[in-house]
Amino acid sequence: MNSLLRVEDLKTCFYTDAGMVKAVDGISYDLQEGETMGLVGESGCGKSVSALSILRLIPYPPGKITGGKVVFEGKDLLNISEEEIRDVRGNRIAMIFQEPMTSLNPVLTIGLQIGEALEIHRGLNKKETRDEVLRLLRMVGIPDPERRIDDYPHQFSGGMRQRVMIAMALSCSPKLLIADEPTTAVDVTIQAQLLETIKDLTSRLGTAVILITHNLGVVARHVNRMAVMYAGRIIESGPATEVYEHPRHPYTVGLLASVPRLDKPRVGRLVPIDGQPPDLIRLPPGCSFFPRCSHRMQQCSMERPELRIVGAGHLAACLKDLGS
Amino acid sequence: MLNDILIEAKKIAMYFPLTKGIIRQRKIAEIKAVDGVDLAIRRGETLGLVGESGCGKTTLGRCFLQLLRPTSGEVFFEKVDLCRLGDNQLRPVRQGMQIIFQDPFDSLDPRMTAEEIVAEPLRVHTKMRGRELKDKVADLLGIVGLNPSMAERYPHEFSGGQRQRLGIARALSIRPKFIVCDEPISALDVSIQAQIINLLEDLQGEFNLTYLFIAHDLSVVRHISHRVAVMYLGKIVEIANRDDLYQFAQHPYTKALLSAVPIPDPAVEASRERIILGGEPPSPMALPSGCNFNPRCSVGIDLCQQEVPPLHQVGRDHWVACHRA
């Protein structure tokens, strides 16, 4: 397998009245062709911002990508012209967002919206576009596409809208699909349908996927490799089976321990992670997780831990070795 | 505690009219959000109510509290039929019932301080004022794990989890017996959810509270509930003790819901059988004939398209509305 995407020391900041927010604070990872990676973390940890930064979709001001590289198919996306990046967006790299109602244009039919990318990136004419849109709608499992193609977004249910988004995202057979919480707004039975659809279609097209979610269950089922983010940094990454079975960062350990599980006997009392999510403007000088960590040592308040190898392909940023 | 019923709904229905026209509004259809539900909640228990969005679980919760006046049916709270009471007569009864909302951002007035928020129910329902009220609020903040020194802060100065604690303190202030928890943790971060669940459990033990716990996360519902009811398109399709429901689910919808819950363990997920339901829930404006679930059901028979299956008993405390169960 070849490396498709290499993110190196990516940094994105937001300048707010209250101070500078380091939303993404130096993250690095590699993605192979056709691979599915999960990016996990809680709200505000920087997972969405890091994905938007890949496509340079950070509004400026207040946001700014302040450093790093995003090498995709050999080109640094942070260093190419506006025209060149426009050719990447929606064509080579596509994105699905959490809320399909706000990411679709309410006054255009879905046929026109899906067709737009086809006309721009693939240069199809009207007739070809319509046929192709019908094929895509059928592909993502929208019943009766001939009738639905001229409908507006509000005529679709949440799950169907997300299918429209998937059709749009895959219309140009992208090399990379970034799915940002694609199933958070839908019900659990629809979630299962959508994730199967994404999995099935991307593996057929050979598309690599970055699946961004806060749901540890979704990651467990659908990804090979995962990265856990906290306060703008990746604090643990590795093969999904490895991270779930032998989590090495106290935050990952805490997260996995705090959710009740349907496949295990019911526990008497949940073990929460203490404290509150970090305030990104006033991060502690050492490890960001220090105030909430149950394994903290004095050293952790001064020294910021870097990612280090703790197993095969398994990295963790913790000064204490939880494995031993 | 087991057979002492605190609150009970009988044949509760809540229909919302759908109108057309601006000047002369004509009713063209009805949305049957809750359609003939019988549900009794026992003193001291947590009844979990699960179902997908639009199934009517929130509406049902509000009918219990008379925040929505049901179209028909009765709600008995400690043997009094609330549906017959007028607004003035309801006010004293409301002291016994409170609600905790899903979104701690929308449900707190941004212009009120924490202290004012928690004190409001006390001002309305009791004669407590001044020093006494202040002390009571400080006490309540302490109970829900907030530092009483935060009393002067406004909601935006709190994190999501802290705001939910504030909402809980407000609900607790007048010592209710019954609390409807309407998706109290689904807007919170994963690492905070467990804190709030533990808090709700502690409070239940301390103040002998009865909860109707509305949620769509089945793992959480199993953790917190004594009994669980599953709702689909305005009707209860299955209700049982927690362990029976999770181990011996009878209704095909319950089975599909359980199998759709992703489990945070790749090894388990790899070997797991999954029932992926086809289609989507039909619109509550145009319900199918017979069983509401029949268009998506894999075990349906002809009867399912003709007759609505009644809830019938299949085990101790286990009821199912399915012709095949």
ipTM of the assembly?
0.82
Contact B193 A258 (CB under 8 A): yes
Q: Which residues of B touch A259 (CB under 8 A)?
A: 190, 193-194, 219, 264
pLDDT at B1 (0 to 100):
44
Asked whether residue B284 is domain-assigned, the answer is: yes
Which residue in B has a C-alpha nearest to residue A258's C-alpha? Answer: B194
The SS3 assignment for B255 reads helix
Q: Which of B159, B263, B265 sits opposite A277 (nearest CB)?
A: B159
Contact A272 B194 (CB under 8 A): yes
pLDDT digits 0-9 by tens, B67-88: 999 999 999 999 899 999 999 9
Domain count of the fold of chain B:
1
Cβ of residue B198 closer than 8 Å to a chain A Cβ? yes
Q: What are phi and psi of A265, to 5 degrees?
A: -60, 150
pLDDT at A19 (0 to 100):
87
Give CB contacts under 8 A, 24+ apart, made by A262-271: A262/B218, A262/B219, A262/B222, A262/B246, A262/B258, A262/B261, A262/B263, A263/B263, A263/B265, A263/B268, A266/B222, A266/B223, A266/B242, A266/B243, A267/B223, A269/B198, A269/B201, A270/B194, A270/B197, A270/B198, A270/B223, A271/B194
Q: Which of B162, B256, B266 sits opposite A220 (nearest CB)?
A: B266
CATH value at residue B274: 3.40.50.300
Asked whether residue B44 is domain-assigned, the answer is: yes
Q: Which residues of A touch B256 (CB under 8 A)?
A: 189
Q: Which residues of B touch A272 (CB under 8 A)?
A: 191-195, 198
One pLDDT digit (tens) per residue for chain A, 324 residues: 578 999 999 999 999 888 889 999 999 999 999 999 999 998 889 999 999 999 999 988 889 999 999 999 999 999 999 999 999 998 899 999 887 778 889 999 999 999 988 888 888 899 999 999 999 999 898 888 999 999 999 988 888 889 999 999 999 899 999 999 888 878 888 888 889 999 999 999 999 999 999 888 889 988 999 999 999 999 999 999 999 999 999 999 999 999 888 888 888 889 999 888 888 888 888 999 999 999 999 999 999 999 999 999 999 999 987 765
Give the range of the structural domain holding residue B182, as residue numbers without chain letter: 5-96+176-320
Asked whether residue B54 is domain-assigned, the answer is: yes
Cβ of residue A159 closer than 8 Å to a chain B Cβ? yes
Which segments of chain B have a pLDDT < 70? Answer: 1-3
Q: Which residues of A touch B160 (CB under 8 A)?
A: 277
- Closest-CA distance, B221 to chain A, in angstroms, reads 9
Q: What are phi and psi of B6, to 5 degrees?
A: -90, -45
pLDDT digits 0-9 by tens, B207-221: 999 999 999 889 999
Asked whether residue B150 is domain-assigned, the answer is: no
Q: Which of B216, B246, B276 sits opposite A196 (nearest CB)?
A: B276
pLDDT at A156 (0 to 100):
87
pLDDT at A1 (0 to 100):
57
For residue A298, the 8-state DSSP code is G
Contact B260 A191 (CB under 8 A): yes
Q: Which of B52, B162, B276 sits opposite A276 (nearest CB)?
A: B162
Contact B263 A217 (CB under 8 A): yes
Under 8 Å between Cβ of A35 and A224 = yes
Asked whether residue B163 is domain-assigned, the answer is: no
- Closest-CA distance, A124 to chain B, in angstroms, reads 32
Q: Which of B219, B243, B267 sits opposite A259 (nearest CB)?
A: B219
Asked whether residue B36 is domain-assigned, the answer is: yes
Cβ of residue A219 closer than 8 Å to a chain B Cβ? yes
Under 8 Å between Cβ of B68 and B62 = yes
- Closest-CA distance, A317 to chain B, in angstroms, reads 19
pLDDT at B106 (0 to 100):
85
Which residue in A has a C-alpha nearest to residue B162's C-alpha? Answer: A276
Cβ of residue A267 closer than 8 Å to a chain B Cβ? yes
Give CB contacts under 8 A, 24+ apart, made by B254-261: B254/B230, B256/A189, B257/A188, B257/A189, B257/B50, B257/B218, B257/B230, B258/A262, B258/B218, B260/A188, B260/A189, B260/A191, B260/A192, B261/A188, B261/A217, B261/A262, B261/B218, B261/B219
Asked whether residue B213 is domain-assigned, the answer is: yes
pTM for the predicted model, two decimal places:
0.87
Q: Give me the DSSP letters along A139-201.
A: HTT-SSHHHHTT--GGGS-HHHHHHHHHHHHHTT--SEEEEESTTTTS-HHHHHHHHHHHHHH
Under 8 Å between Cβ of A110 and A151 = yes
Sign of CA dihedral A216, B161, A249, A321: negative
Cβ of residue B190 closer than 8 Å to a chain A Cβ? yes
Distances A77 to A38, A65, A68, A175 between C-alpha atoms, Å: 21, 12, 10, 14
Asked whether residue B15 is domain-assigned, the answer is: yes
Rounding to the nearest 10 degrees, give the CA dihedral for residues A112, A116, A117, A122.
Answer: 110
Cβ of residue A265 closer than 8 Å to a chain B Cβ? no
